[in-house]
Amino acid sequence: MVKKIGFIGIGVMGKSMAGHLMDAFGPILIYSRTKSKAEDLISRGAVWKDSVKEVAREADVVFTIVGYPSDVESVYLSEDGLVENAKQGTVFCDMTTTTPSLEMRIAAEAEKRGCTFFDAPVSGGDVGARNATLTIMLGGREDELEKVMPYLRTMGRSINYMGRAGMGQHTKMCNQIVIAGTMIGVSEALVYGRKAGLDVSAMVEAIRPGAAGCWTLDNLAPRVIRNDFEPGFMIDHFIKDMGIALEESRAMGLDLKGLSLVEKLYLNLQEEGYGRNGTQALVKAVEAAAKEA
């Protein structure tokens, strides 16, 4: 029996991810708060639904990638949400980056309704979403994995099962901590290189093959060099992620000073109106801090 697939959240990444599912499995049901963002998918055959509830009532498998923990909670646990309105046996997969505790709560509620829930946050940004090369960090029941794996394989290159529901999100927090550190390192290298009079493009090419090589250097440094601050991943969303990581770390008795510093720089940018820029705009805060020193 062919499964009806639903996808909620047609944003910078969700649009490409939903497109890959369509390429592999045919027309899907879609919903997003802004219908205009879904027009390309609709023109390709996606079936627009006017609410989360409508998706829940028809779909057998539902993927979500929305903005904030409050959005995830509303989509899944509100009266008009997925869990309350789904058919028994529905498979849910939340690919938003959100709090581990929320995902564990959703999993418990879904199980009460005879449904299956996975948390599967992703890394790779807009480039990974477009190219179907995302890294996916998966949490949920191990004995149910095959209910979701065929779909995830259309969106990602590296799918990593991390344990029970919520463990995908804990893994994503580790990922975001590393990204925060590499982003400030790359930003400071570019500021230093410019001040030293280097051709920064040549500098990046020189250090990429060595120990400094990383995704941020490959994908975001070139954007900074050409003054491209369009979002592959928005500062507003990264601030949300860093806040989750810091909250979780404090709950475990940890004080992550490096992450706290990067969060402060990003919060300054947000206050200055750069929240909808890509995370590579951190270089603006680094430049400002360097001039003040």
What's the CA gap between 200 and 220, in Å, rounded? Answer: 13
Are the C-beta atoms of 57 and 87 separated by less than 8 Å?
yes
DSSP state letters, 121-154: -EESHHHHHHHT-EEEEEES-GGGGGGTHHHHTT
Are the C-beta atoms of 165 and 104 separated by less than 8 Å?
yes
DSSP state letters, 8-56: E--STTHHHHHHHHHHHH---EEE-S-GGGGHHHHHTT-EE-SSHHHHH
What's the CA gap between 268 and 230, in Å, rounded? Answer: 18
Q: How many other β-carbons are positioned within 10 Å of the β-carbon of residue 290?
A: 13
**265 to each of 215, 220, 230, how far by Cα in Å?**
21, 18, 18
Can you read off the two tokens belonging to residue 91? 């498979």
The residues, ordered by sequence, that sit 6+ positions from 40 with a Cβ below 8 Å of its Cβ are 15, 19
Q: Is 112 among the residues known to form the active site? A: no
Q: Residue 279 is which amino acid?
A: T
49, 53, 147, 172: which is the annotated catalytic residue? 172
Q: Which helix (H) or strand (E) holds 266?
A: helix 257-271
What's the CA gap between 161 and 139, in Å, rounded? Answer: 6
Active site residues: 172
